Structure 1
């Protein structure tokens, strides 16, 4: 039995993982999916990682998964605990010392969105969350997810990642092929550049844990013993 530590993205809640959690538990695994202190201006990356570490407790056989902005928290957890696999899920891959605020410009995100939007008629980067963020999620479920969204503190965006190097643990990257927030081609470039890995690809939107939970759970379980 493994413990999957599921770290949500900016302004989100642990609830966003509930469908994936059910799939993982049905396969005999444990799950930790905490609500992060998104809106707390006294909590930066280090304090956020502290909370996750406390939630994990003495569990072992850890697979740590960071979604979106959770990519800034996941490597901090992997640096502090014995982690079997670190997974970025449509995740922001940070360089040591980089801030989330600087990440967008450093990675060329804006140009990548404009390039993809020119191909798909403006679907990518669309301001309508049901088009640009929750595409592929059943409408009722997407509306519930949207109702649960929270703010994200400036403390998180402005704090440099307090790591000298990426954690020396097996690392995977999963991109969602229908992601209109972080285009697939963007991560096909960035994951090799920053992690030295070729991303694995599954169907789904940016909120792939809600649009394709079974496919995501199957992919995560496939990493056990890798």
Structure 2
């Protein structure tokens, strides 16, 4: 086992790799990207092949790796469905930190399609919808209830067509990769109920999640606070960890 984490590495700013969720393009990160770049960070918003019927989880990871290129000192931030492909990236290249932002957490061999039921998600969503009195077709409340109306409209304009192929792919890793991992939830998230997400992080990763304001698209509603959180996570990460 090799131990990494020198003073030089500790003082080097991270490169933030931003992996979106299903049917999302890099636009969803544009406010956070601007905030992080203004603070002097290199930022790589990943464009996933969402509309490619031949692309599965491995190809999603390939797209992230191609965007990363030869960059190092990586901090990967994965939103929602990005939680399935981001750990594969961390398994293939050295990553210093992984942050799951309202992220799905898979187990070995589980497909994204199975995840909806095996994780207990569908039951948690039904309970959440019943408490809120949310109509099934009310996608604005489901995803963007915290955003200003004009920003919510713009967010839906940037939806991509999502192919079904990756939802049938078993998650290929035998275990979670050896990477410093944090879980950050949005307390007003209607798509990923906070109570459910907190339980899942504890059960599957042994991690106690953090919370911040926002709906499921909290990177649009609270980019400054999210950047603050990411920088704090980076500053507080272990400086020596197994590779």
TM-score above 0.5, yes or no: yes
Structure 1 residue 118 and structure 2 residue 130: aligned?
yes
Q: How many Å separate the matches in 1 of 2:160 and 2:34?
A: 23
Decide which of 108, 124, 139 is 2:120's aligned counterpart.
108
Superimposed CA distance per residue, residues 96-143 of structure 1 (whole angstroms, 9 cap, x where no aligned partner): 1111000010111111112223333x24x7522221111111111111
Provide TM-score, normalisation by structure 2. Answer: 0.89
Decide which of 82, 94, 105 is 2:94's aligned counterpart.
82
CA contact 2:185–2:210 (8 Å) conserved in 1? yes
Provide TM-score, normalisation by structure 1. Answer: 0.96
Q: How many Å separate the matches in 1 of 2:131 and 2:22?
A: 27
Structure 1 residue 65 and structure 2 residue 65: aligned?
no
Superimposed CA distance per residue, residues 69-101 of structure 1 (whole angstroms, 9 cap, x where no aligned partner): 111111011111111111111011011111100
Decide which of 197, 206, 224 is 1:187's aligned counterpart.
197
**Aligned residue in 1 for 2:60:** 48
Residue 200 of structure 1, CA deviation? 0.7
Q: How many Å separate the matches in 1 of 2:232 and 2:69?
A: 24
Q: How many Å separate the matches in 2 of 1:18 and 1:43?
A: 24
**Aligned residue in 1 for 2:179:** 169
Q: Superposition pairs for residues 148-159 of structure 1, below 5 Å?
A: 148-159=158-169
**Aligned residue in 1 for 2:42:** 30
SS of the residue 1:223 aligns to: helix
Q: How many Å separate the matches in 2 of 1:145 and 1:35?
A: 16
User: Aligned residue pairs: how many?
Assistant: 224
Residue 23 of structure 1, CA deviation? 1.0
Over alpha carbons, which structure has the higher Rg? 2
Q: Which runs of 5+ in 1 are unaligned?
A: none
For the aligned residue pairs, the C-alpha RMSD in angstroms reads 1.2
Query: Structure 1 runs of 4+ off > 4 angstroms?
Result: none
Q: Which runs of 5+ in 2 are unaligned?
A: 1-12, 238-243
